[in-house]
Amino acid sequence: MNNVSQPVSPVELERTPVSGVGVVVALTLLVVIFIIGHMTVNHFRNPGRFPIRTVVVEGAYQYTSQNQLKQRVLSQADRGFFNLDISTIQQEVEDLPWVDRAYVRRIWPESINVLIEEHTPVARWGNEGLVSDKFKLFFPPRLASAQDVLLTEMVGDLPVLHSPARRHAALLKLHRDTEPLFKAIEAPLMGIKEDERRSVTLMLDGDVQVIIGHRLIAERIERFADIFRSYVAPVYDDVARVDMRYTNGFAMARKSELLNSARVN
């Protein structure tokens, strides 16, 4: 028996006509939802409905006052809880001279939390700036005379660094690499400075200068450490400077010799 395929007639699907009333209802619902959403957003964005009432400051800080921090935060607080520009507030706080990093967040329903990290000074930069433990250079404002004494006491024992090119990171690294060697030979390293040609001079206790130059810096520093106890330490109180830029030696100037020379002139 032969199987003969029978042609399949196409089935015509029934089409449900869309009434004009249904379209109007759908569009009306969309408009209502949009209006309600817009009104809700405006309700929450109204600064008067959700004002900022509290600023919580956290973190270990000793050079930045809470009043300074709150003033920076409250300058944006009148915009209300939902309109706050967190990045702007963070930048305002980080613009304070002693602040290294600031972390700002909202706390429902009316608070701002600010966590700050201050710079930790490890060196002075000339007479006006400071260098932090993260190799950042910053400049605290000049303080009133009574407060200036406190600041001087807090940073007075820090080494002094200076360079016309503001190479604070390079000089701080050099100081960190050099200080252990000078502690070993009992020669207090008070600071490092360099001139426009990047010629390095070490400053020791008692205004003693050690001229290193801009070449072979590590080698010349080690050579000074080798000759310190034999040649410099015995006459240390009378030493004005030691020049290490000679290939196989050094030159030492005495304070007494400079004083006598000045009197003759």
pLDDT digits (tens, 9 = 90+) for 33-73: 766 554 544 444 444 567 888 888 898 888 888 888 888 88
Q: What is the pLDDT of residues 147-180, one digit of tens each?
A: 566 666 778 889 999 999 889 999 999 999 999 9
* One domain, residues 84 and 159: no
Q: Is residue 109 located within the same domain as residue 170?
A: no
Residues 61 and 173 in one domain: no
Structure tokens at 143: 């303080």
Range(s) of the domain holding residue 200: 121-264
pLDDT: which is higher, 251 or 259: 251
Q: Please determine, for residue 265, whether its predicted confidence score (pLDDT) is greater than 60.
A: no
Instruction: Please indicate, yes or no, whether residues 175 and 72 belong to a single structural domain of this protein.
Output: no
List Cα–Cα distances, 261 to 126, 253, 257, in angstroms: 30, 11, 6
- Of 78, 103, 118, the last residue of a domain is 118
- pLDDT reported for residue 43: 46
Q: Answer whether residue 240 shows pLDDT above 90.
A: yes
Answer yes or no: do 104 and 132 share one domain: no
One domain for residues 245 and 128: yes
CA distance 54 to 111: 5
H/E element, 251 = strand 251-254
> Is a pLDDT exceeding 70 seen at residue 32?
no
Across the strands, what pairs with 253? Answer: 241
Give me the CATH number covering residue 82: 3.10.20.310
Q: Is 15 a member of any domain?
A: no
- pTM of the predicted model over 0.95: no
Q: Is residue 33 part of a domain?
A: no
Looking at the domain assignment, is residue 103 inside a domain? yes
Name the domain boundary from 118, 135, 162.
Answer: 118
The DSSP string of 34-87 is HHHHHHHHHHHH-TTTS---EEEEES--SSS-HHHHHHHHHTTGGG-TTT--HH
One domain for residues 257 and 128: yes
Residue closest to 123 by CA, chosen among 219, 71, 191: 191
Domain identity same for 220 and 257: yes
pLDDT at 248: 86
127 and 71 in a common domain: no
Is residue 63 within 8 Å of residue 118, measured between CB atoms? yes
Contact (Cβ atoms closer than 8 angstroms) between residue 132 and residue 121: yes
Pair (109, 194) in one structural domain: no
Torsion of CA 75, 77, 79, 81, to 10 degrees: 160
Beta strands 121-125 and 129-132, pairing class: antiparallel
Instruction: Identify the domain boundary among 118, 140, 171.
Output: 118
- At residue 41, the pLDDT reads 47
Task: State the DSSP code for 15.
Answer: -
Tell me, yes or no, whether 90 and 176 share the same domain. Answer: no
